[in-house]
Structure 1
Amino acid sequence: MATKREITKQKAREYDRASKKEKGRILDELAATMGWSRANARRQLKAAGKRKGPASAVKRKPRPRTYGYDTLKVLQLVWTLSGEPCGKYLAPIMADMLESLERFGELKPVEDRLNDHVRGQLVAMSAATIDRLLKPAKDARYPDAVSSTRPGPLLRSEIPVRQALDEMEQRPGFLEIDLVAHCGHSLEGEFAYTLTATDVFTGWTENIAIKNRAHKWVVQAMTTVAKRLPYPMAGLDCDNGGEFINHALVGWAAERTLFMTRSRPHESNDNAHVEQKNGDIVRKSAFRYRYDTPAELSLLNELWGYVNLRKNLFLPTKKANGWRTTRSGRSTRTYDAPKTPFQRVIDSGVLSAQKIAQIEDLRRNTNPAGLTRNIVRLQQELIKAAKTKTLAFRNRVS
């Protein structure tokens, strides 16, 4: 823009002194150089002739703020009570979340700020604007962990490989599964794990904390996941860890006529759905501390009950639905509109009318802010329990 202004300023001086024929030539030349129409070129020359001093000295008048302090404070509270989702997931549920929080009386701290103008701004706010306004709060509110995955060569040849480029599942029931270690910064000794199971089609996610990654605990956790799902399980996809590639889990799947696949070694994108949940749910909710006692295991499972309920009923996700070719010829993923796992399950048509009524009643009678308060309470208990071990490890290392 500065270059355009300089060129236009120079041409404006020449334009003022030129004859009618020369003015036409200048307009044609400027329109071809800048990509403007002749009418716009004429307007730009006229404006440049009135400007004082060099083009670099021209200062644009700052645009007035669109969103005021009241809107920001209400947005921060809604974001906190809904579980701190990013803008692209908060924007689609803003109207429903405001309605739910008001119905349960959770917006009383900002009720004097929440007028019709603020409400309209919140509902119309784009995802990018939400992220931009919340960035200072996120920065003010907010160590790498080690991996415990070990290869399981047993039965590997009998389980087919599923790749990231394979076709997406078109019905609910196919789950990607993975384990996350709660080892802190050391793999020494025994510590808890969280099994994450997420449905590729609906995004419905269940988490179960287990004592260790022994085969019997993994099978027991998968049995619990199968009971909690609102629809039948159809298949499993896992990585190449020995906790999954074993006779116990393969036999469990065979008994239930579930087909089982595995990812390629060292290709985490083959399990992209569950890997995303590992970060968004497990690490975000339970952090990276060490949990290795029965009390901490109990706290984790209580935490996952509230986290899964909030995630499945209230927080939307996007789902890859195909590919498109960009203007440069590259292929890129396309995604559908954000929907909650609850909405995707209802829209799938696999539930009976009785089951639909049961889940809808559960959502209607669940206070999202109450879920968040319970999650924060349990997180504080976990942090308190892990504090002594974390300090002891730091002192030993130092």
Structure 2
Amino acid sequence: MRQKKAVTRELRDRYRKSSKKEKTIMLDEFIRLTRYSRSYAARALRLKEVLGYMNIRGKRVRLVRDKRKIKRKKKKIYDEGVLVALKEIWKICDYICSKRLAPFLSEIIPALERWGEINLSAKVREKLFKISAATIDRLLTDTRKRYRIKGRSTTRPGTLLKKSIPIRTFADWDEAKPGFFEADLVSHDGGAVRGDFIQSLNFTDISTGWEEMIAVKNKAQRWVFSGIETIKERLPFSILGIDSDNGAEFINAHLIRYCEEHKITFTRSRPYRKNDSCFVEQKNWSVIRRAVGYARYDTDKELSILNELYVYLRLYVNFFQPVRKLIKKERIGSKVIKRYDEAKTPYRRVLASPDIEDEIKMKLKSQYAMLNPAELKRKITKLQDKLLKLNALKQKVREDLLQKSVEPSSRFEYIST
């Protein structure tokens, strides 16, 4: 027994200082030598060094020496001042993810300071320029909220002219060059696909991520074509290609003839393959749905508010919403590893493109200098509130009319007033 205690005292200090692998080897040897159980052996080696015993109030107390390292308290770098400023900037940037926000801070902070929207001390400003995406995630954990809402598709196939429009292949388009757009319609039916309701026409440039949107009365070809012409006038660069789904609002002779006259490559995606239009499908949710939701919009007043909102939203998204692009995808067994480039706004990607003329870039720079991101965000929020109140009023009137059994033809006369 004395020998076992002597061996235990001898190994105890070495055991505490050893690594995990070394502890395993030492424990195996100790068990073979002493015939202790593994649990008791580990406990015996973990015990602190006994210095002696003393009586305290009639009780025998063992005195031990604790040789554990005192954990050093790390000085907090990102304090409350940084967190308050970060939350304000994150709110102005529409609560984007940390990997998009971190590289964008060096651009958005000077813009907000220029317009007097924020006032940062030199220390807070320096810390925000150095902060990483992981630290942003850690600081915003308690305030982040996520909403996931699924939508529905109202695309109806246009079969007569499908053969006239080729299915897009990646060999046909130069996707590194700005001007090749994916187009789609977002339905504002409110869950009831009956009658006419407003549609949002969405155009997304594959190369730069430049986004243009406009609300149209319904899916009729005349309104969709009119929306395309309006978008064409707003764009800072020319349309070189349009890729749409197989809906009759796009697959029609009028649009084919228009594309042929203006030398625009017109292609379509494969039926029931949403990934063929992945760029615009992503923007349908991240831009349109996040801005206007899933309510039913079917009146002229709502159409006017939506288009006014989109005027500010297109500027906010293109100039102040950084996006990341997939540059590499690698499969290792069942795992797919994706690599993305650094987050940049569509505006910055247009400036970096060698295919855009210098004159266009100068106009964009002048426009950017006149934009206040916080003011744009306030105008968008104001119009969103106005749209929600109008929609709620419409729903209330509809319920009252249904209860009184009023003829449907007079349901929305109040809107025009």
- Bin the TM-score by the shorter chain: 0.7 to 0.9
Q: Which residue of 2 aligns with 1:8?
A: none
Query: Is the Cα–Cα contact under 8 Å of residues 163 and 270 in structure 1 kept in the other structure?
Result: no
1:238 aligns with 2:229: no
Query: Is the Cα–Cα contact under 8 Å of residues 175 and 199 in structure 1 kept in the other structure?
Result: yes
Residue range with higher mean Cα deviation, 69-78 or 119-128: 119-128
Per-residue deviation, residues 159-181 of structure 1 (Å, max 9, x unmatched): 22236899871211100010001
Counterpart pick for 1:387 among 380, 385, 392: 392
1:83 aligns with 2:94: yes
Shift of 1:202: 0.5
1:67 aligns with 2:81: no
Shift of 1:152: 1.9
| Greater RCO (Cα-Cα under 8 Å, separation 6 or more) | 1
1:30 aligns with 2:21: yes
1:265 aligns with 2:276: no
CA distance in structure 2 between the aligned counterparts of 1:346 and 1:169, rounded to whole angstroms: 16
Corresponding residue SS for 1:349: coil
Structure 1 gaps of 5+ residues are 1-12, 35-44
Query: Is the Cα–Cα contact under 8 Å of residues 231 and 350 in structure 1 kept in the other structure?
Result: no
| 1:391–1:265 Cα change, 3 Å | farther
Please show how residues 77-156 of structure 1 align to structure 2 within 5 Å.
77-107=88-118, 111=119, 114-139=120-145, 144-156=150-162
CA distance in structure 2 between the aligned counterparts of 1:139 and 1:132, rounded to whole angstroms: 14
Query: Is the Cα–Cα contact under 8 Å of residues 259 and 266 in structure 2 kept in the other structure?
Result: yes
Q: Which residue of 2 aligns with 1:9?
A: none
Please show how residues 212-223 of structure 1 align to structure 2 within 5 Å.
212-223=218-229
| 1:172–1:250 Cα change, 3 Å | same
Q: Name which one, 1 or 2, has greater alpha-carbon Rg.
A: 2
Percent of aligned positions with the same letter in both sequences? 36
Shift of 1:141: 9.8
Shift of 1:62: 8.3
CA distance in structure 2 between the aligned counterparts of 1:159 and 1:258, rounded to whole angstroms: 12
TM-score by length of 2: 0.76
1:298 aligns with 2:304: yes
Please show how residues 1-398 of structure 1 align to structure 2 within 5 Å.
16-17=9-10, 30-31=21-22, 48=46, 50=48, 66-107=77-118, 111=119, 114-139=120-145, 144-162=150-168, 169-326=175-332, 328=333, 332-390=337-395
Residue range with higher mean Cα deviation, 116-125 or 337-346: 116-125
CA RMSD of aligned residues (A): 3.8
CA distance in structure 2 between the aligned counterparts of 1:32 and 1:65, rounded to whole angstroms: 34
Query: Is the Cα–Cα contact under 8 Å of residues 164 and 271 in structure 1 kept in the other structure?
Result: no
| 1:248–1:29 Cα change, 3 Å | closer
| 1:188–1:65 Cα change, 3 Å | farther
Q: Aligned partner of 1:106: which letter?
A: E
Q: Aligned partner of 1:94: which letter?
A: L
| 1:122–1:17 Cα change, 3 Å | same
| 1:63–1:15 Cα change, 3 Å | farther
Structure 2 gaps of 5+ residues are 1-5, 26-42, 51-63, 403-417
TM-score by length of 1: 0.80
CA distance in structure 2 between the aligned counterparts of 1:51 and 1:85, rounded to whole angstroms: 54
Corresponding residue SS for 1:137: coil
Corresponding residue SS for 1:186: coil
Corresponding residue SS for 1:180: strand
Number of residue pairs the alignment of both structures matches: 364
Query: Is the Cα–Cα contact under 8 Å of residues 206 and 308 in structure 1 kept in the other structure?
Result: yes
| 1:211–1:89 Cα change, 3 Å | same
CA distance in structure 1 between the aligned counterparts of 2:49 and 2:128, rounded to whole angstroms: 40
Shift of 1:241: 1.7
| 1:18–1:256 Cα change, 3 Å | same
Query: Is the Cα–Cα contact under 8 Å of residues 239 and 263 in structure 1 kept in the other structure?
Result: yes
| 1:248–1:333 Cα change, 3 Å | farther
Q: Which residue of 2 aligns with 1:41?
A: none
